[in-house]
Amino acid sequence: MGEYLKWWDMPIGKQIGNAGSEVARAIRQKNKNDMLSASAFCIHAIEMLAYTKLDPKNVNRRNELTYAQEEILDYILGDNLYQNDDQSIMKWYDAFL
């Protein structure tokens, strides 16, 4: 649990903003057709969102954070069933900057 404490010290806006930076990197790499790098950035963003979900102060946002994880996985690595584009994905993260 010690590895989470530094992350949990951040306000949620900073946590999501950091995850959003990884999402932006994943999108850039996807647009360059570098799916290996896009996958790595996507997985890192998913991990950051998982740490954010575990943060006790974010208990009321867990469903929202789970949905964000699902959307980024679907957009970067899946079939884009949610029919997102670069802007629609980043809009949620940008709201926290």
The residue-averaged pLDDT of 83-89 equals: 97
Average pLDDT over residues 69-80: 97
**Average confidence (pLDDT) over 65-71:** 98
75, HSE (Cβ side, Cα atoms, 13 Å): 27
20 vs 96, higher pLDDT: 20
- Asked whether the predicted pLDDT for residue 3 surpasses 80, the reply is no
pLDDT exceeds 70 at position 59: yes
pTM: 0.94
User: Is residue 38 predicted with pLDDT exceeding 60?
Assistant: yes
Angle at the Cα of 62 (from 60 to 64), degrees rounded to 5?
Answer: 100
